Amino acid sequence: MNNSKRNVHNSGPLGMLVKSGQVKQIETDADGQKKAAEVEQARSTGFYFRTQSGIDFTENELLEVDPAECEPWEYANRLDDEMSDINELVESIRQSKQLQPALIRLHPNPHNGIKYEIIFGRRRHAACLQLGIPLLAIKKDINDIQDAIATQDAENKFRKDVSNYSNALLYKRLLEDGVFKTGKELAEKLGMSASSLNELMAYTKIPHDIVKAIPDIHMLSNSMALKIAALVNLSPKHHKYILSIAEEIGKTITSPARLEKVVENHFLNKKVETLEKAKIIKASNGQKLFTFKMGHKGSPCIVIHKELSNNIDHNDLCKYLKAYLEKAKTNILDLQEA
């Protein structure tokens, strides 16, 4: 029997996905770019299928499996607190069935009845478990972790339902575990620029106490994460102050510019409050020499006592001050180069 003309997508789960537009049929002989091994795999039906996020599969790779036999794989990038409202998804699947297949592979270490690992589709898996119905999934032989990461990333970027924060934590872990040797290698696999990856990693540079204090870290924009990481890095005092206002980030503080302004105003007011008061410097005999204070913009100001000012050589004073400041600047440069 010639299966190449068999209309396999009129009924069953595959037919449902095709009719709903979640997958489309691709003729094997019309795609010269298709890998030879994949074309050979698809010959049993004469065509293969492609999901909206670009996952190619054959009819034989679409399965209904027992969700109790599946578990998320170790590099799942959806955190537990980002599962959203499962009840809403449960009701959707109850009424309209599961219209988006998960992606699974054989578990490398089967245990306690677990046969498969879920590469993506963790929420769908949880919903099917709750409903007590089979999980519709595409089963692929994905042995390379880097390929599995790229596939998961493509799906989640298409769905736009995993936060930058969750992705950043995953990317950090992949680098720490040595799955990717460098950020450049990881960026290339994900199809993004190295600079974009570096910016995304700003989330991982925000101290944990501030992360916990922000109302919804998953809604934090990349630009805001970059600004927080930069400000916190300025000093321990900046860390402490940003922690004190973290609960307003995303509420009253809604942009990086606003955050920077709030922080600047706080430290300017503190500087004026603590240093604007005049400090009178006296000689050992108690005679007033000069007054030191900070201006309202934080600039230092030295006022020579009037009686003394009339009896000193201002040019000499400028030379002494110049020599002192030049020495201070040299010391700072030496410390920076050390």
List pLDDT tens digits, range 290-304: 888 766 566 778 888
List pLDDT tens digits, range 169-219: 999 999 999 999 999 999 999 999 999 999 999 999 999 999 999 999 999
The pTM assigned to this predicted structure is: 0.69
From CA 134, how far away is CA 131, in angstroms rounded? Answer: 9
261 and 244 in a common domain: yes
- 26 membership: H or E segment, kind and range: strand 23-27
323 and 190 in a common domain: no
Please tell me the predicted confidence (pLDDT) of residue 291. 84
Q: Which of 306, 281, 277 is nearest to 291 (CA)?
A: 281
- 48 membership: H or E segment, kind and range: strand 47-51
What is the Cβ-side half-sphere exposure of residue 158, based on CA atoms within 13 angstroms? Answer: 15
123 and 29 in a common domain: yes
Please tell me the predicted confidence (pLDDT) of residue 30. 47
288 and 252 in a common domain: no
Last residue of a domain, one of 148, 175, 205: 205
Among left, alpha and beta (phi > 0; psi -120 to 50; other), residue 21 is left
Residues of the domain holding 318: 279-337
Please tell me the predicted confidence (pLDDT) of residue 5. 39
From CA 28, how far away is CA 295, in angstroms rounded? Answer: 76
Please tell me the predicted confidence (pLDDT) of residue 330. 77
| Tokens encoding 243 | 């922690």
Please tell me the predicted confidence (pLDDT) of residue 335. 55
Contact of 76 with 31, CB cutoff 8 Å: no
Last residue of a domain, one of 93, 126, 159: 159
173 and 27 in a common domain: no
| Tokens encoding 43 | 């010959």
236 and 115 in a common domain: no
Q: For the chain, how far is it from start to end, CA to CA, in angstroms?
A: 79
237 and 250 in a common domain: yes
From CA 232, how far away is CA 214, in angstroms rounded? Answer: 14
Please determine, for residue 155, whether its predicted confidence score (pLDDT) is greater than 80: yes
Residue 100: which CATH number? Answer: 3.90.1530.10
Least confident of 160-169, 202-211, 311-320, 324-333: 324-333
DSSP one-letter code for 180:
S
Total number of domains constituting the chain: 4
302 and 214 in a common domain: no
Q: What is the mean pLDDT of residues 143-163?
A: 88
Please tell me the predicted confidence (pLDDT) of residue 286. 85
Of 45 and 57, which is predicted with more confidence? 57
| Tokens encoding 258 | 């606003």
197 and 81 in a common domain: no
From CA 233, how far away is CA 166, in angstroms rounded? Answer: 22
Alpha helix locations (H) across 136-286?
145-159, 164-176, 183-190, 194-200, 208-213, 222-232, 236-245, 256-275
Cβ neighbours, 10 Å, residue 89 = 19
Please determine, for residue 2, whether its predicted confidence score (pLDDT) is greater than 50: no
150 and 7 in a common domain: yes
218 and 187 in a common domain: no
Please determine, for residue 266, whether its predicted confidence score (pLDDT) is greater than 80: yes
> CA torsion, points 159, 165, 167, 169, in degrees to nearest 10?
-160
Last residue of a domain, one of 274, 307, 329: 274
64 and 25 in a common domain: yes
Least confident of 268-272, 298-302, 310-314, 322-326: 268-272
Please tell me the predicted confidence (pLDDT) of residue 324. 86
